[in-house]
Every structure is written in C-alpha cells, then in structure tokens.
A and B are shown apart, each in its own frame.
Chain A
Amino acid sequence: MKFQIEEVTVYFPYDNIYPEQYTYMVELKRALDAKGHCLLEMPTGTGKTIALLSLITSYALAKTESPIKLIYCTRTVHEMEKTLAELKFLHNYQVKHLGAAAKMLAIGLSSRKNLCVNPKVSSAENRDSVDAACRKLTASWVRSMAAENPNQPTCEFYENYDRAAGGAVLPAGVYTLEDLRAFGKEKGWCPYFLARHMVQFANVVVYSYQYLLDPKVAGIISKEMQKESVVVFDEAHNIDNVCIEALSVSVRRQTLEGAIRNISRIENEIDRFKDIDAGRLRAEYNRLVEGLALRGDLSASDAWLANPALPDDILRQAVPGNIRRAEHFLHVLRRLVQYLKVKLDTDKVEKESPVSFVASINSDAGIDQKALKFCYDRLHSLLMTLEITDTDEFLHIQTICDFATLVGTYARGFSIIIEPFDERMPLIPDPVLQVSSLSLSLSLSLSLSLSLSPLCMLCLCCHDASLAIKPVFDRFQSVVITSGTLSPIDLYPRLLNFHPVVSRSFKMSLTRDCICPMVLTRGSDQLPVSTKFDMRSDPGVVRNYGKLLVEMVSIVPDGIVCFFVSYSYMDGIINSWNESGILKDIMQHKLVFIETQDVVETTLALDNYRRACDCGRGAVFFSVARGKVAEGIDFDRHYGRLVIMFGVPFQYTESKILRARLEYLRDTFQIKEGDFLTFDALIDVMNIELTDRNLNQRQAAQCVGRVIRSKADYGMMIFADKRYSRHDKRSKLPGWILSHLRDANLNLSTDMALHIAREFLRKMAQPYEKTGSTTGRKTLLSQEDVEKLGNNGAQEMLY
C-alpha cells in the first residue's frame, strides 16, 4: 500500500498495516525531520523492522536533494540476514510501483569468514585463521613478492578485484551475504573487499553493532561513512552491554603465557631481519621518529584491527623514544607481561582504578603512561615491518597491547578487577545462593578455588556505556535505538548520555488473546515442582517435569521449545529421562533436538528442528535459558507453539563487575545531580533496574518473548516452577506477558495445564475477524483507514 505521512509518500509492501506501525512511522519521521536521535519501543510481533525500513527508504526517496544513507545495525549475522530478506521484499515492491527510481544498493557486511570464496582460505576453522590465511595471500609484501616469484601463492579473487580497480562495482540491488558470495564467484572478484569498498556508496548498509561501536573494527570499516546517515540499532535493549564490552579486555594466565611465546618469536624474527635486511628496521625507526606510527598508504588488505581506543582519544604524536627501537619495545612488553603475571598470582578479589594501576606499573615495572598508550600502534607497526602474516598466532600479545593502550588512555570510567576463578568449575554458583546473598556465593567460589589450584583473571572493565557510543551520536545525523523492550525508557538516555528528540513506547493491541501464559506449580501427582537447589535432583521433580512434557507433546502441534536453567541441569535431566523411558515417550510424538555447547552442532540441530516443524513431523527443542539460542533465535509461528521454562533462570550477575559499574554510575550521577536524596532514590531504581534487566529481558523475555511474529500468530508459555507463583518473581516478567496471565492460571498442576492448553489450541484454530472491528478498536488498518487517519491527523490515533 501507498500512503502519505505529511509530505512523504510511504511505500509499504503489504495491503494492510497495524496501527502501531503507522504511529511508529509517524514518530520516526519526526525524528528524521528534526535530524535528531530517537528512542522507540514497540513489542515484538508488530513488524518493527519492516516499518522502519519502509519509512526510511521512502524518506530517502522523497528527499532526493539531500540523500540519506541508512546504516542498520543488528546484533548478529542471522538477524542481519533476516533484515536483508525483509529489505529485499520491500525493494521489490518499491521497484514494482516506482520503477527504476526506487533502485538502491543495499549490502550486508560481515567478516572474511563469512564472505570469503577462496576455497583454500575459507576452509580454515575459525575467524582468526581465515583472516590470517587471507593476509598470507593478499598482504602487500606477499603480492610484491609474487610479482617477482611466480611460485608465491596469491588469491586470484583478490588479484582480479584489484585489477578491475574502479571497474569493480556492484550493480543496484539487495545483497545478502550469500548473494555477495555468488556475485563474487561469478565475477571472480573477492566479495569481502568488494563489499568493504561498496560500503561507501551503498544506500543501505546492514552490519553488526561492533562495526560501529567497537573502535577496533569501526576504525577500519566505518571510517568513511557520511554524516547524513541514519543509524539504526535494532533489538537494542542490550546496547549498553555491547558498548561496555567493546572497551573491555580480560587477561588470563593462558594469555600471558601465549604473549611470552609471541615475544620470543618476534625476537627471533628481529634477529633474522637484522641479518638479512637491517635497513628495514632502520627505516621503521626513522618513520617513528617522524611521528608516523604507520605508513600512510596502507592497502586495504594490510589493514589490521584498529586501535582499541576511540578515535578522539588517540594521540596524534610521535611514538615516545623509549619504545621506538624494536628491541626496547620488546623489553617493555616483557616487563609488562611479567608485572601482570605477578598481579594474577593472587587469591582474593581486587579492584583498582586505572590511575593507581598505571602508577604502580610505573613504579614496579618502569613503564610510563605514554609508553603504555602507544603499545598498540607500536606493535602494529612492528608486525608490519616484520611482514608477519599469520596474525592469528599473535592474538595474545595483541590482547596485552590492547589492554595497555586502554589502561594508558582512560583514567575514568574503567576499573581493573582481578578475580580468582577456576576453569574446571562451572562458574555458575548455585542460583539460590547467588540470589539470597551475593557475598555468600562469592565466598563460596573463593573457598572452592582455594581448594583447587587457583586461576586468576584480570579484567579491565569499562563501566561507561556512553564512551563507546559517543562518536556515533556525534558523527551521525540521526540515531534510532529501537527494541521490543526498552523500559524504563528514560533510563537509556542516561546510560548512553544522549538527548533523544523523540522517545516513545508503544503498546501492542491484540485482536484476540493469542498468548496464553501459565504458571505450573505442581506436577501430575500434585507435588510441587521447582529447580530450587534442594529440589532439583529429586527424582519426583524430574519425573514430573518429564510427564508434563510427555503430555504436552501429545496435544500441541508442530514445535515445542523447552528452556532449562543451565547446561549441566539440562544434561542431567535428559540423561535421567532417557533412563526412565520418558524420552522414548516424547519421541513417540515428536523428534528431539538439543542445543549443545558446540555452535556448529547447535546450528544444524536448529535447522533440522525447523525442517521437522515445516514438514509436519513436529519436534521439541531443548535449550538453555542463558545460551546463545535463547538470546537470538526466534521461535515464532509453528516453530514455537509452546514454550516451557523449566525452573527460574538466574543470570550469573557478573556481580563484581556489575557492582563496580553501579558504583561508577552512582559517582558520575552524583557529580551531575549533586542532590543526594534524588541520587539515592535514583540509584535504587538503577540498582533494581540493572539487575532486573539482566533477569528479565535476557531470560524470560528472550526465551519466551519471541513466540509471536504477528497478530495472527499464537503461542503458549508454561513457567514450570512453584516459585513463579510468588509475586516478586512473577512481577519480573515483561508487562505484556503479565497482562495476559490470568489469575486462574497462576497455580496449576499438569492435568489442569493440559486442559487449558487444549481449550486454548481449539480456540485459536477458529477463524476470526482480522481487523478486530468487533472489539471496537481496529487492530489492522486498510488503505482506506490509513488515508482517513492521515486526514484527521495522527493525534486521533487509537491511543
């Protein structure tokens, strides 16, 4: 359909539109008009993405005099693919109705691992080895060597791309990663470098958060984005964590050991070079004296991960004299590693500010702040000079240098936490202990790690999410932060330190009661069920959970998803179900797929799960509440007619890190507000919000909240633990679930839940009035309705 929002003609690829989508677009358009940032919350299942895409592309079409570029950030690659698929659908529609004028170039960008088409390179196992394998074939010195020596292997795709030079362009269209690969294969051009090149010219770029937020990646990818861009962060409820992680480094003993190995190897290389080509090291030294950390004309294929510090904070000066010579620099690194090693040899938790840490490095190891700051650039320059291509081997020393640079650069907003932990112990202290008392769990893990040989981790934690995102807010015209759950919506501007011009939260109006949450407290034998520590291994509870699933698989069609509180618990319960024959009963009705710690296997299991749901055989997927699947995969439509949450999931709250962060926030707010009373109340809110957000959104909302794709979709959720019947636990569930949780469904046993499920499924199978006109409020708008709305002004919307 085609309609007007003020002066912009919006092309929307469906015949109908939800009223929520319409108001969402209206608000978004205001933000774009004002050239400001905005914050929009709209529940999942209302078609946020398509509304966003169609408004922004239509806006760009309407304002041809100042073309805007859309930079769409997703959390993961599979979300990127989804977005591109929707964009393709939209683009086809626009081209059909507008002709060639609507043509645009949209590309998704990912790492070499996902884009490489060179069979020799892409068969490498992980990302780092693919990157290194690529460098081995494409680094500038390798290529110049190949010019002389024909036996030197190079990458034909890169060579072809390089030869085509300016001629290597993508025709207009929407390119997913697969499309890029196919195009690259057909033309014989390297898709990765082509995509990176085309990013500057594309109308729409879809990539992951990190490509904009993490200075290491953003420095090489997103440097040249124009100011007239609209940046969208989708599913942004975790954006503060991404920002924080982008600037955090943790160092473990293995890292240090690896770093020492790296240093010796570099030493050998230096010796070798001294023998054969001493002039080169000399040239590097001269360059550094002139103040150029790197040669100015780095070819794209040489680019490494960029400086971990934010661009504004990087000093544009000459590298200090004490680390200019390669040998001296290595000595400094050696001392640094030694110092960290001593630091790690502790058995108690320590917290330090970067300032005092730098001071103690200076006094103990004799490395000043400025030298620390330049560590990264110096290392980069050295590795380039030594023409090292197997960069995946040098990750450890790189980590150390990142750490040094960050610690030398930032005095505020960071802290260094040294905490002992044991890798052989699964680091999930029992949730109960953790919740009842944080200090108790701490002492427990301490005592455990004392008894086993202690291993320490040193973590440089960033506490200020606004640091990493600040350049984005400063640089781009509009930044849109949107998600299904952003409440409380006024917290985000504070956390990220920005001023939105529009900040709104939308509610979803449902045509019918299409979600059915239930709280199950008792099993079929009327005994309580729970994953509480003292009950979870009780065979009765295990059996009751199993019986619940057996009953449910026999009545629920298609897909069922089960979430457990942890891997170890899931493993245990599946084994005991296998032994008691419950698993066999489940398999009578549905196939069983399980999330494991192996990402490849999990991906295949998910793929097969979808296939089984598609072909009608039906399947159950066992997953873990904190796992990767729970965080990112949708179980909408027939892929998840029922979600069962076995037990109450508790996040390992990263207690020390989180607490340090809260303290920091309190301090900064104190400086800002000055008023102690308001601050205290605020911090209380913050405190609860932060911990609760960890509890709610990442778990319940993430696990359960992705069942609904549209208003026509439906799904049930069962929270199987007696603790959910308590108000304080339940109230942490997202509001839209709570609003559908009827009092009658709060305290069910298996047989009652079964009855309710049957009734619900029967009700959902009935045909219904899609526009919702029977209930008085329209939940679906047709072309006519939208035109009427446009005339009356959007103020008279249904809210």
Chain B
Amino acid sequence: MSSGQVTKRVKYKTSVKDAGTPGRLSLVKERLLFRPNNPNSASKLDMQFKYITNHRYTKEGSNKAPMLNLTSNQACRALAPPVEAPNLGASSQVPSEQPSRDDLLFRARLLQDSSELQKLHQQFVGGGVLTEAEFWATRKKLLEKDSNTKSKQRGGLKSSVLGESKPLIDGRTNRVTFNLTPEIVREIFSEKPAVHRAYLNFVPSKVTEKDFWTKYFRAEYLQRSKNIAAAIAEAAEDEELAIFLKPDDILANETRRKIRRVDPTLDMEADQGDDYSHLPDHGILRDGSKEVPEPGNELYRRTLLQDLNRHAAVVLQGTPIDEEQLKDTQTVAEALERSKQERSTASKDDDSMADQERLKGISQAMTIDDLRGSNDHHLAPLWIKDPRDYFDSQQASSFRTSMEATKGSMSSQEAYGLLRESISQIKSMGLNHPIVAPEVAQKVLSVLTHNISSTKYNLGKKPGESLLDSLPTSVRDELLHHHISIEELMKHFWSSYPITTKYLNTKVIKLKDEMSKMDSQLQKLKETVQPDIRHQITLLIRPMQQALEAAMQHYDAEQQKRASKAREKPNGYS
C-alpha cells in the first residue's frame, strides 16, 4: 500500500456550522490533502499527520451525517464530513468498495490473459448490463492472490531434441546445411555450457558469429559421423574446434555437485564406493563390468545416449529465459548468462531447504500407503492454462479420423449437383421415357433423406465424436460464446432472487432485457446457418433457450406475485 492512496468525496468545513466546500479528500502516506471541486475556492488543505493532535469521528450507527473532526496544533480546525452517498440506504448490498489500483491492474491482466473473459466483460459491462463490481463479484476466486502466483505459467522447453534436426545434405555441391533458430540456440547453450561460454568469450571479439557456428556444426558433424580419428586430427589443428569436441568441464563440475545431492535411495555411485568385494580383480568378474571402452580416445567420445540424458535433464529443469528473449543469438546468450547467475546465487540460499524437502520426500515415499488409516495427501492442483484447448486438441485428433471415415458417402452438395445435372439434361433434351434416371433419383433421395435422418439417429452414438466439432469453426465459436454469455446472465439473474432491494430490482430488469435480446440472437443464428447443420444447431441451442425461458417465466411469475401483493399492501415496498 505504499503507493496507494485513499480518496473520498467530502465537504470541507472549518467549523460545524459552516456549509462546507465540496471536494476530494485524499489520504497519502504522510499527509491529508483536500482539493475542492471548484479550483478557485480558497479552502484547500494540506496537512501532515504529525501535526494532528486529536481526531473525533461521528459515532457509528448514529443518524447524524458522518463527520471527521480533526484538531491540529496549528490552531486550525478542520472538519471534514464525508458527502452522503446518494443511494446510501439502498446500496447496502452493492459491492461498493473502491478497488485499489493493484486490483484494477490485476483485473486488467486477467482480462488480457483470457480472451473469453474479455469478450464477456466487453459485452456486459461495456453494454451496461452489469456494473464492474457485479461482474467481478462472481469471480472472487479468480481474484484471490494465491491463484495469482500460481498462474504464472510459462511454456516449458519442448521435449523433442531440436538440435538433432537433421542437416540438409546437398549431394551435388557436397554441402551440408544446418538450420539455426534462436530456439535451437537456446537449447544448445543450455545443454552445453562450454559452448555457451565459448560464445560469450569469442563472439564477436575473436571470431564472427557465422564462423563460430560453422565450427560448432563442423564439430557436431564429426561427432555424429563417429569418425573419432578425424575428430582428433581436426581438434589438434584447431583449438577452437577442440572446445566443441572436448568433454564439457562446466558440465563435469555440475555433475559432481549434483551427485552429492542425489536421492540417496537410488545412489548407485555410493554403492560402488562401498563395494569391497569388487576391489579391482577381486570376486568373480561378471560380464556386465567387462565392456571396457576403448582407451585413449575417451576424450572425444560422446554418445547419443549422453546427449539424450542431458537434454531431458535440461528440459526437466525448465527454461530459464522467456519467449520474448528469443530474438537473436546474442540476446539469448546474454539472457541465459544472467539467469544462470541468478540461479546460482539463489540456489545457494535454498540448498538446505531443498535438502530438507528431499529428505521429507524420501521418508514419505517409504511409507506404505494403504496401511495408513487416513491419507492426507497434499495434491498439487492441476493447472491447465486453457482447458478447452487441451481437451479439444485430443478430441479433435480422434474426431478427424472418424470424419475421414464417414467421408465415403456423398455429401448433399454432390447429390444436388447430380440432380441439377439431370435437370439440365431434361432441359436440353426434353423429357424422355424415364423422366429421371432411376439411379440418379435413388441417389438423390437416399442422400437427402439420409442426411436428415442420420443426424437424428447417429448423434452421440459414437464415443469419440462430438457434435460441436462437426460444425464450422465460426458457428462453433459463436455458439460457445452465446453459451457462456447465457451462463453469465443466468448466474447473475438467479443470484439476485429473492428481490429485496430496489437495486436488485433494476438489475433484474436490465438482465431480463438482455436475456430477451439473447433469445432473439439465438433465433437469428438458427435461421442463418446452413440448412444441413440446422438440425444439429437446433439441438445445441435448445438447452440454452430452455434456460432462458425458465428464467423469463420465473420473472413473470414473480412480477405477477409482486403486483398482487402490491395491491393488497399498497405501502408495502418502496
């Protein structure tokens, strides 16, 4: 709240009897400011808190106008009764608290994150159906600060190995082309810290960027061709190339550090350190231990398996830099360096924490679950940024296959084409004995009727199929949007019953208008869509319409009841 300030509309009085000057009173960290609405008015106030010697406030619940009475040692009496809100009596239910700036910013970000929410907001708040406060009141959960921290989800690294993408080999010119994108560069840098270091050291002071990468890929190419002798020869000549071929010393250090902190219940290195009966040459040599790598060339030996392990480890560790930083190699390299430094300082702090955590995890893993009476699992909540995207992508892939399978029969378009063809034939040739070729007629009839009946019978029969996915995307989006807006309206509508205040009454009226508007929109949508999907649309729209109708009916019934009540008790409700 250091930056926050509270603003209230008040009247400023120098004495109790004074009529007062309307204006705004704002409280900042150290002082009290009053600015009159009329800039020409002389009664300004700028008072630091430390000068206030005494303050009094109107008793709560008293029917006098609330008033704050401040006494200061500057002999100036400042009385600042807050302006009476025009609807103070009725608005007890109105969520009227003034949102702080933080809240506003946060809301804006939420809107930005979710296009769905933005649309709704625009439609209802922008359209004046709901107030800002009402809109957010139903979304308290979203506004909780905890979820705020959790929602900082960033896209992870891709699981697949990008750098392994095959080079293009041009047989004619004997040239090998590698493609390099910032994403690949990021992968290379984070998986091979020695390359990263070399880049920071050499580029662009010693070699150009292009030369650097040419050398790198040359080393990679040698590595991949498994021509160790050639690799050694090249490395002997070119010391920069040798950097790429040599085992990574930064990595080796990191490995040494990590192995000390590995889960002791699977630490096979410790096993080895404790195994006295396999002193060199003691015990019976078993086959597993005998595949000794070729001596000498070990220095230049790096296998695919090691690369894969390293890659997976980096992916698991997570990306240290954001997508925005993926502009060019230089920025990637620098951003990575920065984040590495941050991480190393941070990791020193939470090393012991992590150790504690790890040990706790081990003892937890050792327990036998079903022998415990109650299980108090702390499950991490599943957080999928856009659930619909996630589930739809799976649905769609399975649906696509089923769609392809049903494509065998003719579409109505084709059937229509056949019909037209025969009509034009008739036009040109006149009527001959079978007016319509029986096979054509058969086809047209069957397809058209099938189209109508099949949807009726086949709908929802197949497990992988969903009605929604068979619709064109524009229609689908519109439908989904309508659905969500109706949901929103319903939520507000039903939550305003029973109507106890005038405020709710006006809200319900507004909502009702919007609902009828929505109803007509749905009707229009139904009429405008292509005829061959109209049936499906009708099916989908029906529940929405039913919901709307139910609400309308309820409204009408209430209205009637109220009218009859009002007749009985003319002074009942204002």
Which of B288, B291, B370, B372 is the one whose CB lies under 8 Å from A711?
A: B370
Cβ–Cβ contact B304 & A574, under 8 A: yes
Given contacts A178-B264, A591-B312, A591-B316, contact A603 B273 (CB under 8 A): no
Q: How far is the CA of A396 from the CA of B282 in the complex (A)?
A: 10
Indicate if A88 sits at the interface (CB-CB under 8 A): yes
Residues of B within 8 A of A605 (CB): 309, 312-313
A792 → B minimal CB distance (Å): 22
User: Restricting to A347-363, which residues have a CB under 8 Å from any CB of B?
Assistant: none
Residues of A within 8 A of B365 (CB): 637
Cβ–Cβ contact A77 & B284, under 8 A: no
Cβ–Cβ contact B367 & A592, under 8 A: no
Residue of A nearest to B315 (CB): A591
Cβ–Cβ contact A428 & B264, under 8 A: no
Cβ–Cβ contact A114 & B283, under 8 A: no
Indicate if B272 sits at the interface (CB-CB under 8 A): yes
Which of B281, B286, B305, B370 is the one whose CB lies under 8 Å from A594?
A: B305
Residue of A nearest to B252 (CB): A600
Indicate if A268 sits at the interface (CB-CB under 8 A): no
Indicate if A426 sits at the interface (CB-CB under 8 A): yes
Q: How far is the CA of A613 from the CA of B282 in the complex (A)?
A: 38
Given contacts A86-B366, A395-B280, A426-B290, contact A610 B305 (CB under 8 A): no
Cβ–Cβ contact B308 & A217, under 8 A: no
Indicate if A423 sits at the interface (CB-CB under 8 A): yes
Residue of B nearest to A590 (CB): B159
Residues of A within 8 A of B276 (CB): 111, 210, 214, 216-217, 305
Cβ–Cβ contact B281 & A252, under 8 A: yes
Cβ–Cβ contact B370 & A603, under 8 A: no
Q: How far is the CA of A380 from the CA of B275 in the complex (A)?
A: 21
Stretch in contact with the other chain, from B16-24, B255-263, B324-332, B440-448: B255-263
Contact with B along A226-258 (1 / 0, CB 8 A): 000000000000000010111011111001000
Which of A244, A428, A607 is the one whose CB lies under 8 Å from B262?
A: A607
Q: How far is the CA of A354 from the CA of B276 in the complex (A)?
A: 24
Q: How far is the CA of A710 from the CA of B369 in the complex (A)?
A: 7
Q: How far is the CA of A590 from the CA of B312 in the complex (A)?
A: 9
Cβ–Cβ contact B160 & A588, under 8 A: yes
Cβ–Cβ contact A248 & B316, under 8 A: no
Which of A18, A255, A587, A615 is the one whose CB lies under 8 Å from B371?
A: A18
Q: How far is the CA of A246 from the CA of B294 in the complex (A)?
A: 29
Indicate if A113 sits at the interface (CB-CB under 8 A): yes
Indicate if B179 sits at the interface (CB-CB under 8 A): no
Which of B270, B312, B366 is the one whose CB lies under 8 Å from A177?
A: B270
Which of B268, B277, B281, B316 is the one whose CB lies under 8 Å from A612?
A: B316
Q: How far is the CA of A633 from the CA of B262 in the complex (A)?
A: 14
Cβ–Cβ contact A78 & B265, under 8 A: yes
Central interface residue in B263, B277, B362, by most chain A CB within 10 Å: B277
Indicate if A405 sits at the interface (CB-CB under 8 A): no
Indicate if A602 sits at the interface (CB-CB under 8 A): yes
Stretch in contact with the other chain, from A99-107, A196-204, A277-285, A623-631: A623-631
B204 → A minimal CB distance (Å): 34
Indicate if A736 sits at the interface (CB-CB under 8 A): no
Which of B160, B266, B267, B380 is the one whose CB lies under 8 Å from A587?
A: B160
Q: How far is the CA of A16 from the CA of B368 in the complex (A)?
A: 10
Given contacts A246-B277, A600-B259, contact A14 B290 (CB under 8 A): no
Cβ–Cβ contact B371 & A214, under 8 A: no
Q: How many A-B residue pairs have CB under 8 A?
A: 252
Indicate if A677 sits at the interface (CB-CB under 8 A): no
B179 → A minimal CB distance (Å): 16
Q: How far is the CA of A615 from the CA of B160 in the complex (A)?
A: 18
Given contacts A242-B277, A596-B303, contact A626 B371 (CB under 8 A): no
Residues of A within 8 A of B274 (CB): 76-77, 110-111, 113-114, 127, 208, 210
Q: How far is the CA of A713 from the CA of B294 in the complex (A)?
A: 43
Given contacts A587-B161, A612-B316, contact A245 B284 (CB under 8 A): yes
Residues of A within 8 A of B161 (CB): 584, 587
Cβ–Cβ contact A607 & B316, under 8 A: no
Given contacts A210-B275, A604-B258, A604-B259, contact A710 B266 (CB under 8 A): no
Which of B262, B293, B303, B308 is the one whose CB lies under 8 Å from A592?
A: B308
Given contacts A426-B290, A461-B284, A601-B306, contact A82 B279 (CB under 8 A): no
Interface footprint category on B: 35 or more
Central interface residue in B272, B282, B286, B372, by most chain A CB within 10 Å: B282
Residue of B nearest to A608 (CB): B313
Indicate if A533 sits at the interface (CB-CB under 8 A): no
A358 → B minimal CB distance (Å): 20
Residues of A within 8 A of B259 (CB): 600, 603-604
B397 → A minimal CB distance (Å): 11
Q: How far is the CA of A594 from the CA of B312 in the complex (A)?
A: 10
Indicate if B471 sits at the interface (CB-CB under 8 A): no
Contact with B along A481-501 (1 / 0, CB 8 A): 000000000000000000000
Cβ–Cβ contact A250 & B285, under 8 A: yes
Cβ–Cβ contact B290 & A423, under 8 A: yes
Cβ–Cβ contact B285 & A14, under 8 A: no
Indicate if B269 sits at the interface (CB-CB under 8 A): yes
Contact with B along A551-570 (1 / 0, CB 8 A): 00000000000000001100
Indicate if A410 sits at the interface (CB-CB under 8 A): no
Q: How far is the CA of A424 from the CA of B275 in the complex (A)?
A: 25
Indicate if A126 sits at the interface (CB-CB under 8 A): yes
Residues of B within 8 A of A208 (CB): 274-275
Indicate if A47 sits at the interface (CB-CB under 8 A): yes
Indicate if B296 sits at the interface (CB-CB under 8 A): no
Residues of A within 8 A of B346 (CB): none
Residues of A within 8 A of B287 (CB): 427-428, 626, 651-652, 654
Indicate if A459 sits at the interface (CB-CB under 8 A): yes
Cβ–Cβ contact A17 & B371, under 8 A: yes
Given contacts A214-B276, A305-B276, A611-B316, contact A110 B270 (CB under 8 A): yes
Given contacts A111-B274, A711-B370, contact A604 B313 (CB under 8 A): yes
B416 → A minimal CB distance (Å): 40
Cβ–Cβ contact B284 & A654, under 8 A: yes
User: Restricting to B306-358, which residues have a CB under 8 Å from any CB of A?
Assistant: 306, 308-309, 312-313, 315-316
Indicate if A55 sits at the interface (CB-CB under 8 A): no
Indicate if A62 sits at the interface (CB-CB under 8 A): no
Residue of B nearest to A633 (CB): B266
Indicate if B373 sits at the interface (CB-CB under 8 A): yes
Cβ–Cβ contact A244 & B284, under 8 A: yes
B316 → A minimal CB distance (Å): 5
B353 → A minimal CB distance (Å): 15
A704 → B minimal CB distance (Å): 18
Contact with B along A83-95 (1 / 0, CB 8 A): 0011011000000
Cβ–Cβ contact A619 & B267, under 8 A: no
Indicate if A50 sits at the interface (CB-CB under 8 A): yes
Indicate if B292 sits at the interface (CB-CB under 8 A): yes
Q: How far is the CA of A32 from the CA of B305 in the complex (A)?
A: 50
Indicate if A571 sits at the interface (CB-CB under 8 A): yes
- Given A127-B275, A590-B159, A616-B380, 12 more contacts at CB 8 Å? A16-B371, A76-B268, A81-B267, A250-B281, A395-B280, A571-B305, A578-B304, A583-B308, A591-B159, A619-B312, A624-B288, A713-B369
4 nearest A-B pairs in the assembled complex, by CB-CB distance: A113-B273, A15-B373, A14-B371, A712-B370
A/B interface sample: 21 pairs, CB < 8 A = A76-B271, A78-B265, A82-B265, A85-B362, A89-B366, A89-B367, A114-B270, A127-B275, A208-B274, A245-B282, A255-B281, A428-B287, A578-B304, A593-B309, A597-B291, A597-B293, A604-B262, A610-B263, A614-B361, A628-B288, A709-B368
Chain A residues packing against B (C-beta within 8 Å):
14-18, 47, 50, 76-78, 81-82, 85-86, 88-89, 110-111, 113-114, 126-128, 130, 176-178, 208, 210, 214, 216-217, 242, 244-246, 248-252, 255, 305, 395-396, 398-399, 402, 423-424, 426-428, 457, 459, 461, 567-568, 571, 574-575, 578, 583-584, 587-594, 596-597, 599-608, 610-612, 614-617, 619, 624, 626-629, 632-633, 637, 651-652, 654, 657, 709-713, 770, 780
